[in-house]
Amino acid sequence: DTAVSQTPKYLVTQMGNDKSIKCEQNLGHDTMYWYKQDSKKFLKIMFSYNNKELIINETVPNRFSPKSPDKAHLNLHINSLELGDSAVYFCASSQGDNTYEQYFGPGTRLTVT
Amino acid sequence: GQSLEQPSEVTAVEGAIVQINCTYQTSGFYGLSWYQQHDGGAPTFLSYNALDGLEETGRFSSFLSRSDSYGYLLLQELQMKDSASYFCAAYPQGGKLIFGQGTELSVKP
């Protein structure tokens, strides 16, 4: 059983389009995250939800909107895609105070042309 | 600001020992984590140090010195499969991890 899963794994789209990435975890964790990893492998947190409540919202363009329908799911919707949005997006989860130990999904490679 | 520094790349031979250093500067600090990421893969958790000293997990060990704002990951008996990127991540106040830029480890035969 996959612990943290993401769909799709690859996403190729044109500038200006709107796209969504979905994430699900079956670990029973209460906190989920979205990270962006750029071409230099820099891993930066974008958002964090705890029990469906947004707790971290880094300086991210408001074209990015996360949604957590329940504590096992965290989706990311991106409006008006730009070239600079091309990156690998990772979903992750953790339990309780164990923020230091996060479980990552396989990533979604987004390419904007 | 909050930042972590680690070498961009390290090369070593199979069977050797390698140490990847990490210095951090954060507002508030609970501990230091290490993650491994193979090319095309997801980061995976390796270890966490909340207290000063050495934590050993098999061939991997991690060290923390809070007074020096410094830690390292020690990999022993290197194997080809250890070729990957290694990230240190500080756990400061605010409920999030701050990742370093990553160290690309190449293990040669």
Determine the residue type at A7. T
Across the interface, which of B44, B87, B97 has its CB nearest the CB of A99?
Answer: B97
pLDDT in tens, B43-55: 999 999 999 999 9
- What DSSP designation does A40 have? T
Q: How far apart, in Å, are the Cα atoms of A96 and each of A8, A30, A71, B33?
A: 28, 7, 12, 16
Q: Do residue B91 and residue A99 have CB atoms under 8 angstroms apart?
A: yes
What pLDDT is recorded for position A91? 98
- The answer to whether residue A9 neighbours chain B at the CB level (below 8 Å) is no
pLDDT in tens, A64-97: 999 999 999 999 999 999 999 999 999 999 998 8
- The answer to whether residue A59 neighbours chain B at the CB level (below 8 Å) is no
Q: How many CB atoms lie within 10 A of CB B96?
A: 21
What pLDDT is recorded for position A61? 92
Question: How far off is chain B from A105, nearest CA to CA, in Å?
Answer: 6
CA distance B6 to B101: 7
What pLDDT is recorded for position A14? 98
Question: How far off is chain A from B89, nearest CA to CA, in Å?
Answer: 8
What pLDDT is recorded for position B26? 86
- The answer to whether residue B42 neighbours chain A at the CB level (below 8 Å) is yes
